[in-house]
Structure 1
Amino acid sequence: MAVHAHPDDESSKGAATMARYRADGHPVLVVSCTGGERGDVLNPQLEDDIHVQRDIVQVRREEMRRAAEILDVEHTWLGFVDSGLPEGDPRPPLPDGCFALEPLEVPTEALVREIRRFRPHVMTTYDENGGYPHPDHIMTNRVSVEAFLAAGDADRFPDAGEPWQPLKLYYNQGFSKARLTAYHEALLARGAESPFGDWIARWDEQPERPVTTRVACSDFFAVRDEALLAHRTQIDPNGSFFALDLEAQAEVWPTEEYELALSHVETDDDEDDLFAGIPAEVAAADALATRADLPLVRDDRIAPTVEFHV
C-alpha cells in the first residue's frame, strides 16, 4: 500500500517499484488522501486551456485513473480536500475544511479502514517532513504512522473492519542530493545541459536522509514515465524529470530508495526488497499478520519538525 497526498505523487515517488512488484504478482493499492483540488496547472502547454482551468477537479481525477491503469495498480480516494501550499511571509492561514486541519483521528480511521480491507504487509509514505514541507505531505506522514500503529488493534476504530497489522512502514527517499548529482554529472559527461545544477547548489546543508532499502527497478522506468505523463496538468513533458534518457538513468541510478521507519520483523539497513525479513509463511498466512500484540522491532520515527499553523 502506497499512501500519497495528491494525485501525481504516486507516479513521481516509487512508481517503478510498484510496477516491479505488480509484475511479480503482488497486489498494490495507491491511496490518495486528497483530490489535488488546489493544485496549480504546472504544464505550460496547458496554462491557457479553459477546459482544464474550469474542470481541474475532474481533470485530475481522470489523470489519476489513467496513471493507475498504466501502473496496473488499485486506487482509492481517501476523500479529503487539498490544503494548497501556503506561500508568502507571513504565510496565509490554511483553508477551513482542508486535509491538514482535520483532527488526526478522522483521516486515521479512514486509512485504517483501507488497511483492514486491503490487508497489506508493507506500506510506503513520506517522512515526517513530508519529503518537502507541503502541509498535506506532512499530514500524510502523521496519518500513515498512526494508521499503521492502529490497524492491528481491535480496540481502536472497532467499526473500521477486522484488525490487520502491516509488518513494515517505509518512507520514500527518491529525491536525494546524491541522485540529482549523479544525473547532473551524467548529463555534463554527455555534453548536455543540466537542469540540476542550480537545484544542487541550493540544497541546504542538512544531512541526507538515511536509506535502508534500494529496490532495483530500472526495467520499469518507462512505465513510471508514462504514468507521470498521464498527469498532464502537473507534469511538463519537457521538464527536468525527463532530462536524462532512460538508458542513462538505468546506468547511473537503477534503483528507488526507501527508509525503513517501523517494522515488526527483523531486517538490516542494506535491503534490496521491501519484503525483506518477512518469512514466506507469514506472507502467505493472513492470520499470522493480524496479531495486535506483534512487537515492533524497529521504530525510527522522528517527531515532525515542520509545522503549518492556522
Structure 2
Amino acid sequence: MSVAPESGGAPERLRLMAVHAHPDDESSKGAATTARYAAEGVDVLVVSCTGGERGDVLNPSFGPGPTSLEGMRELRRSEMARAREALGVQQQWLGFVDSGLPEGDPLPPLPEGCFGLQPLEVAARPLVELVRAFRPHVMTTYDPSGGYPHPDHVMCHKVAFEAFQKAGEPSCYAGTGAPWEVFKLYYNHDFSLTRMRTIHEAMEGQGLVSPFGDWIESRAAREIPERPVTTRVEVSAYFPQRDAALVAHASQIDPDGFFFAVPRDLEADVWPWEEYELAESRVPTTLPEDDLFAGVRDVLGTTTTEGERA
C-alpha cells in the first residue's frame, strides 16, 4: 500500500480512497473516476466493507452459483481481483460479512454478526486504521440514505463519515496509527434522476429503447429528493475501463443487460461525467468543481498529478 513520503522527500502524490459496501459497487459507482485518476498518477484505494457473501447471482447467463457463504465469498473475491486490475487501482477488504437485502413486510431481522448490525465504533475502527495508513487526501462514499436502502450501504456511509471525522483526532481510536486528517469527503451520485432522464430522452430521440423509463416513473412517484451536485468529473475516455470492471463481476452483471443498454457514443455525448456531492471540505474550494482534488492541489503546491492531467 502506498503512503505519503517523509517531509523533504519527493513531491507528495495525491491519494484517493473510495469506500464501498460490496464488491461490484466500485465498478458501478464512480468507476471511471477512479480509473481516470489512477491513470493520471493518483494513488487510488478502493475499500470493500463486506465480501458480498449474501449477494445473489444476478446474471442469468452465469449459471448456478455457490451455495455457501464461503463459496460466494471466494467467487466475489476472484471477481473483485479482475475488476481491480481493469480499473488500475489498489483494493482492500474491511472483512465484514454482507448483511443481505431484507425483503418482506414486515422486514425480517438482519443475520447475526453481519455488517449492518455492527456497533459503529467496531465497524469504523478498521477503516480508521486504513485511513491512517493510506493517508488519503480525498474520500468518496454514499450519501446518508446509502444511495438506496440496503443496510450495508447505509452502514458504509456511517463508517466512512465516522472515519473522515475521527481519523485526524489523536484521542480517537487508539492503537490504529498516527492521526491523519482527510481534506475532502464526497458522496457518489451515479444514479441521479437528472442523469437517467437526460439519457432516456436522448435515446428516445434517436428511436432507441431506453432502460430508464420505468425507473424514472417509479422514482418520480416516490418523490425521492434529488441531492445537490457540486462536482462533475469528465470521464468518457475511461468508460472502457469502467465497463471492463463491470464485466469482471460476472455473477452480478449481465453483459447484455441494463448497464450496457446505453450506446457508449451517445452516453459520451450527453453525459460524459460522473457526479459528486461535496459533503465536507477542509480546504478552500469554489463550486461547482470539475476535479475531486480542487483546492487540495493548491494546499499541496501541485497543479498536476504525477501523471499528466487529461
TM over 0.5: yes
Supply the distance in 2 between the matched residues of 1:116 and 1:186 (Cα, whole angstroms).
Answer: 44
Tell me which residue corresponds to 2:5. none
- Check if 1:56 corresponds to 2:52: no
Q: What does the per-residue CA deviation read over 1:211-269, in whole Å, with 9 as the maximum and x for residues that have no partner?
A: 00000011001110110010011111111111111111100100000001111012233
- Determine which of 124, 129, 148 is the counterpart of 1:108: 124
1:206 CA drift (Å): 2.9
- Check if 1:269 corresponds to 2:287: yes
SS in 2 for 1:28: strand
Q: What does the per-residue CA deviation read over 1:84-120, in whole Å, with 9 as the maximum and x for residues that have no partner?
A: 0101000000011000110100121110100011110
Tell me which residue corresponds to 2:252. 234
1:207 CA drift (Å): 2.6
- Residues 14-163 of structure 1: pairs in structure 2 closer than 5 A: 14-46=30-62, 48-49=63-64, 52-53=66-67, 55-163=71-179
CA contact (8 A) 1:31 1:78 kept: yes
- Check if 1:278 corresponds to 2:266: no
1:4 CA drift (Å): 0.3
Supply the distance in 2 between the matched residues of 1:56 and 1:10 (Cα, whole angstroms).
Answer: 18
Tell me which residue corresponds to 1:304. none
Q: Structure 2 length as normaliser, TM-score? A: 0.88
Q: Which moved more, 1:54-63 or 1:22-31?
A: 54-63
CA contact (8 A) 1:212 1:268 kept: no
CA contact (8 A) 1:211 1:269 kept: no
Tell me which residue corresponds to 1:294. none
Identity, % of aligned positions: 60
1:283 CA drift (Å): 6.5
CA contact (8 A) 1:188 1:194 kept: yes
SS in 2 for 1:44: coil
Supply the distance in 1 between the matched residues of 2:241 and 2:301 (Cα, whole angstroms).
Answer: 27
Tell me which residue corresponds to 1:245. 263
1:23 CA drift (Å): 1.2
CA contact (8 A) 1:38 1:84 kept: yes
SS in 1 for 2:91: strand
Letter in 1 for 2:294: A
Q: What does the per-residue CA deviation read over 1:40-98, in whole Å, with 9 as the maximum and x for residues that have no partner?
A: 0000112x435x44522211100001100110100000000000010100000001100
Structure 2, gaps ≥5 residues long: 1-16, 303-310
Q: What does the per-residue CA deviation read over 1:261-285, in whole Å, with 9 as the maximum and x for residues that have no partner?
A: 111012233000001112445377x
Letter in 2 for 1:95: P
Q: Which moved more, 1:53-62 or 1:75-84?
A: 53-62
Supply the distance in 1 between the matched residues of 2:33 and 2:211 (Cα, whole angstroms).
Answer: 25
SS in 1 for 2:274: strand
Supply the distance in 1 between the matched residues of 2:284 and 2:223 (Cα, whole angstroms).
Answer: 32
CA contact (8 A) 2:144 2:154 kept: yes
Supply the distance in 2 between the matched residues of 1:106 and 1:56 (Cα, whole angstroms).
Answer: 24
- Check if 1:175 corresponds to 2:184: no
Q: Structure 1 length as normaliser, TM-score? A: 0.88
- Indicate the RMSD between aligned Cα atoms, in angstroms: 1.3
Task: Sort the Cα spacing of 1:260 and 1:67 in 2 relative to 1 into closer, same or farther, 3 A.
Answer: same
1:195 CA drift (Å): 1.7
Supply the distance in 1 between the matched residues of 2:165 and 2:29 (Cα, whole angstroms).
Answer: 23
SS in 1 for 2:280: strand
Structure 1, gaps ≥5 residues long: 285-310
Task: Sort the Cα spacing of 1:281 and 1:167 in 2 relative to 1 into closer, same or farther, 3 A.
Answer: closer
- Determine which of 253, 256, 260 is the counterpart of 2:274: 256
1:31 CA drift (Å): 0.3
CA contact (8 A) 2:283 2:299 kept: no
Supply the distance in 1 between the matched residues of 2:298 and 2:277 (Cα, whole angstroms).
Answer: 22
Tell me which residue corresponds to 1:190. 206
Q: What does the per-residue CA deviation read over 1:132-174, in whole Å, with 9 as the maximum and x for residues that have no partner?
A: 0100000000011111111111111120011111100000011
Supply the distance in 1 between the matched residues of 2:158 and 2:86 (Cα, whole angstroms).
Answer: 29
